[in-house]
Chains A and B, each alone.
Chain A
Amino acid sequence: MKVLVFAEQRAGEFRKAAIEAICAARRLDGDGEVVAVVIGKGIADKAGQLAAYGADKILSIEHDLLDLYSTDGYTTSLQKAVESENPDAVLLAATAMGRDLAPRLGARLDVPVLADVTELSWVDGNLQAVRPVYAGKLMMTVKSNKTPGIATTRPKAFLASEPDQGKTASVTSFDVSLSEDDLKAKVKQIQSEAEGMIELTEADFIVSGGRGMKAAENFTVLEDLAKVLNAAIGASRAAVDSGWRTHSEQVGQTGKVVAPTLYIACGISGAIQHLAGMTSSKVIIAINKDPDAPIFKIADYGIVGDAMEVVPALTEAIKAAK
C-alpha cells in the first residue's frame, strides 16, 4: 500500500501534528511506501528531515504563491501530487490548515474524508478509522469505500516516533503552475501570537482556569504555575465569555480539543462541553472549592480548596521539587 502525507509547515517549521501524521502513516503502512508532500516556498532543503520519521520519498512543491497557505493554491498542489502518485490513502494533520484543506481535496477527488480520527487501519484495502463524535461522547468506527481514503489525524492521538537520523529519502521537486487568479481567497496578513507562546493543542502541560478564578487579574497565579511547568494557559468558556481570556485559549466543544500529559483545572466545574475538550489528557488535576463539582469525577487527583491559595502553594512546591 502507499500512503501520501501532507507535511504541514508554517514559516519553514513542520507542525508537530504533521510529524505525527507521517509516523501514523509509517505504522499504518508497514512495508509500504510513505510519500511526504511539502508545500510552500523555500522549504526544499528542510524537507529531507522528514525521512527520519519514516517518509520514503519526499515531494516538494514550491511556488511564490504558496508562501502562505491558501485553500485554492494548496488544494490544487496537493491534488496534482495525489493524481501523480496514486496513493491508497492520504493523511493530513487535523489542524486549522488540514481541516480546511482535506475537505476541499476530497470534494475535488470526489471521495469522502474521515475527519479528526484517532485510530487508523486497513480493511480489504479500504481506509478505516475511529473518530470521536458527539463531542467525544461516542467513538465511531467508519470506513471509506473510495480510493484514496482521506483522513485528518487528531493532534496528539498518534505518537511521534523518535527520529532515526540514519534514514534518508530523496527530495524531488514537483512543479505546479499557478497564477494570481487561481487564488480566490488570499491571506493578506498574519497576526502572530506573542513569541514563546505554547500552542494549546501541542502543549504537554496545560493550566486552565474557569469562572472560579473570579477575575482576569487572578489568572496571574495560573501564569506563575504555567511558567514553572512550561505549560500553556487554557480557559473554560465562562472565563472566555467573561472577557478574562481570549477565545483561542478556550478548551472544550466550542474551543480546542487538547490532550496534554497534565491538565490542571482550576475553578472549573466540569461541564460536559468542557470535558469534551480535555478528557483525553493523560493526567487531570482539579482544584475546586466545591467537593461536589463534577470535574472531580474525572480528575485523577483533586484538591478541594480555594484556587487562589492552592495554586500558589502548588507552584512553590513544584519549584522546590525540581
Chain B
Amino acid sequence: MKDLLKQLTVLYGPSGREHTVADVIESLVKDKVDSVRRDALGNLICEKKGTGAKRIMFAAHMDHIGLIVTHVEKEGWLRVSNVGGINVNMSRARRVKFMNGVQGVLYEQALKAGENSALSTLFIDIGAKDEAEALSMIEIGDIAVYAEPAFDVGKTRMVSPAMDNRSACALLIGLLSNLPENHQSIVAVFTAQEEVGVRGATVAAYSAQPDEGIAIDVTVAGDIPELKLNAVKMGEGPAVKIKDTRSISHPDVVKRMIDAAKRAGVPYQREVLPYGGTDAGAMQLSRGGMPVGTLSIPCRYVHSACEMIDLQDMENGLKLLVEYIKA
C-alpha cells in the first residue's frame, strides 16, 4: 500500500487535468477488471462482475486542488485563481509545479495597510525575467499544484499534498486487487472534478446506473491542537460517514459498513462532518436516487501541501471494504 501511495501521490492531476493519474491507474487495474472506459469529464470507469446480485459503485476522486493562471504580468509574475478549495493562508512560499514540469514559487505580494490576503494577492514566480519568457514556459489557463514530495513520518504515517484523494484511489485499487471469491458486482470509478463540485461523479453515476454508491475520500482529522470540531482521529481506524453537508449516508449502508468492520476485526470511527462533501452527494441524487455512504480516511492538514494520513487506517479500510463487498 505504501509503495502504491507513493506512486500515486507524485502524479500531476488537478481538476480537469486528471489524465496522467487515470493513465497510471488504468495500467494498474486493467488486468483485474472486465472493462475500462473514460468519459467526457475524465472519469475512469472500471467494471468487475461479481456473483452477487448488487452493483455497487465506488467513487474515489483523482483530482486535487490547484491554482490556475489567469494573467501574466509584464515582470513575468503569474496571477492565479483557485481550482477547488485553496486556502490562501496555507499558500505562501510554496513550491508548485505545472503539467509540463515547469516549477515555481507561490508567494504573496507585500500587503498595503489594511489590505487582506486573498487569491488576488498571490502570485507564482517561475523564474522568468519578463512576460514573454513566462509565456514561453506556460500558457494562460495552465494549472499549478503544490509540488512538495511525499515523505514518511513516524512509524506508519505519510505526508503529501495529494493525500486528498490519492489515498482513496490507492484503497480502491487495493480493493480491486484483493477481491474475495464471491462478491457483488463492482463499478470502480476514479472520478474527475470532485474538488470543484462533485462533477465527475454526477455524470459517472448517471451512466453507470448502479444500485448503491460508496464514496471513498479523506476526512478532516480533528485531533490536532485546538481543533475541536470533529471527533475523528488519525490512526484509530477508517471512518464511517454518517453525514456531511452534501449527503446523509443511508442507515442501512452505515450499518453494513460497521458490521463489515466488526467481521473484519478492524477499528472504525463514526464520522459527522459539519462541512464539506464527497462524491456520495452526487451519486445519491443521480436518476431516481440510490442509497449511498462514504468510507473516510482520517487526514490531518487537508487542503494543504502537507496532508498526513496513517497507513494503518488505509490497511484497515481495505479489510473493511473487502468484507463489505462479499456476496
Pair from one complex: no
